[in-house]
Structure 1
Amino acid sequence: FKLRKRRAYESNLICDGLQLEATRSVLDDKLVFVKVHAPWEVLCTYAEIMHIKLPLKPNDLKTRSSAFGNFNWFTKVLQVDESIIKPEQEFFTAPFEKSRMNDFYIQDRDTFFNPATRSRIVYFILSRIKYQITDNVKKFGINKLVSSGIYKAAFPLHDCNFSTPSKDLSCPNERYLLYREWAHPRSIYKKQPLDLIR
């Protein structure tokens, strides 16, 4: 019964354009992780359906000088260390439309949709795909499947542990940077680096 629902759900996910990758746990043979990948076309389609605002072009407007201009030393204390956490680039944005794709600031398809937006789109799909139709009643969504025990859990993947630095200096552990430079209690007063938090 559970297997039938799981297969129907996964089949419908594939029909909707998602790619599934099953990986058996190294600690428990009975546990299988199903990784869900959203290809470019699916991301674009759902970004349009969900009216997600995405970058059109970099913001070239000058920012107004702060009212705290005379207190430069004070505002500097509130900033994160820009040599460690790069400042966010600001963009003009608009709700995404596939017909206007050339108007959007797409330098690289792999990074155009940030991890938070990808997770949001995939969760939107997972929560709306049906897994059973009985007497014209549709049952759908990952939340119902998890609550009924068909899946153990559903969550977006994270980088490695937040409390250990990356061994590869060319590829820093962003969660560690956030913990050290922003989320640590001694840094509670600092400005939020929203790109990294997302």
Structure 2
Amino acid sequence: MANLRKAGLDMEEELVEGEHKAIHFIKLSAPWPVLVRYAEELCLRAPLQAHPNPSVNWSAGLLGTLRIPNIMDDEVPNKPLDYYTCTFKKSKLDRFLGSDNQDEYFTTTQRLCIVYEILQTAQYGKRRKAQIGIDRLIEEEVYTAAFPLHEGDYRKPPNPVLPHCLNRRQVLYEYWARWSCWYKYQPLDHIREYFGEKIGIYFAWLAIDRILHQGDYRKPPNPVLPHCLNRRQVLYEYWARWSCWYKYQPLDHIREYFGEKIGIYFAWLVD
């Protein structure tokens, strides 16, 4: 904790009394000087100028050429802009686009990246014993978990609002995360803006993977015992089918197949 304060993080502690035990939440945030310093150290990209980002969708273009209604298309508001970028330099801060707005200059994913870097490199014991980083503390059960918080409520306000007035989480829920949107194009630009590059690439890959690997996830034609299924077949049978929408997610299996970060993401998504 002392080293986190020394690194410049703002800390806020909240105690929640449960039925059987109390849970201590420690909320961390990085102020502007810390963001600027680590953005340069981590070589984060900074925007120089916005440029047009036309939607390129071959299936939508084909249906339009054939004059066939495209039920998969949807007008998702607040489409993120693309920018010409370069490596961030503190000495050239005034040359970057939007540098006068400290509250919104760094994206949410960049802020999370900086805080996570500090958590991963903070020393809490002897360095020669590798007593460094939040992952080690979680492994030793000093902390239960470390995760980012969502931005605002995903539900729309009770009073009617225009689509472009929704926050990013509300846009994703209304136009992507609802079951009624299963047949629509994924708003990958919005997903990338909110969750970051890796999660955006994952969902783009997931759509391609489901097309290119037809058959791999299905059970063999002959009856087999459940424990004889491979990992992909288990995930399909007990998680990825529409009939499983109301069941608990098999987070251990998801983590084993896709990795730690994707497992944490799906645990976070449920929240």
Q: Quick check: 1:133–1:139 contact (8 Å CA) kept in 2?
A: yes
- 1:45 paired to 2:43: no
Specify the code of the residue in structure 1 equivalent to 2:140: S
Query: Which residue does 1:147 correspond to in 2?
Result: 139
- Alpha-carbon deviation of 1:100? 1.1
CA RMSD of aligned residues (A): 3.1
Measured against aligned partners, the alpha-carbon deviations of 1:144-189 in whole angstroms (never above 9, x if no partner) come to 1011111111100113564x33346666353342122123343442
Measure, in 1, the Cα distance between the counterparts of 2:75 and 2:139.
43
Percent same amino acid among aligned pairs? 27
Q: Residues 197 and 18 of structure 1: is their aligned pair in 2 closer, same or farther, counting only changes over 3 Å?
A: closer
- Which residue in 2 is equivalent to 1:103? 95
Change (3 A) 1:97 1:76: farther
Hey, which of these two has a bigger chunk of helix by percent?
2
Deviation at 1:65, TM superposition (A): 8.6
Alignment of 1:106-121 (within 5 A): 106-121=99-114
1:124–1:174 distance in 2 versus 1, CA, 3 Å: same
Q: Once the 2 structures are TM-superposed, how far is the Cα of residue 47 of structure 1 from its aligned partner?
A: 1.0
Q: Does 1:81 align with 2:75?
A: yes
Flag the structure with more relative contact order, 1 or 2, with Cα contacts below 8 A and sequence separation at least 6. Answer: 1
What is aligned with 1:195?
Answer: 193
Taking structure 2 as the reference length, what is the TM-score of the superposition? Answer: 0.58
Mapped contact 1:22–1:32 kept (Cα < 8 A): yes
The amino acid of 1:112's aligned partner reads Y
1:25, CA displacement in angstroms? 1.2
TM-score by length of 1: 0.77
2: CA distance between counterparts of 1:63 and 1:77? 20
Contact 2:109 2:194 in 1 (8 A): no
Aligned to 1:172: 166
Q: Is there any run of 5+ residues in structure 2 with no aligned partner, and where?
A: 197-271
Give the structure 2 partner of residue 14 of structure 1: 5
* Residue 19 (structure 1) shift: 1.3
Give the Cα–Cα distance (whole angstroms) in 2 for the partners of residues 88 and 127 of structure 1.
30
Distance 1:186 1:160, change over 3 A: same
Alignment length, in residue pairs?
A: 184
Give the CA deviation at 1:89: 1.8
Of 46, 49, 67, the residue aligned with 1:54 is 46
Structure 1 unmatched ranges of 5 or more: 1-9
Alpha-carbon distance in structure 2 between the residues aligned to 1:172 and 1:66? 25
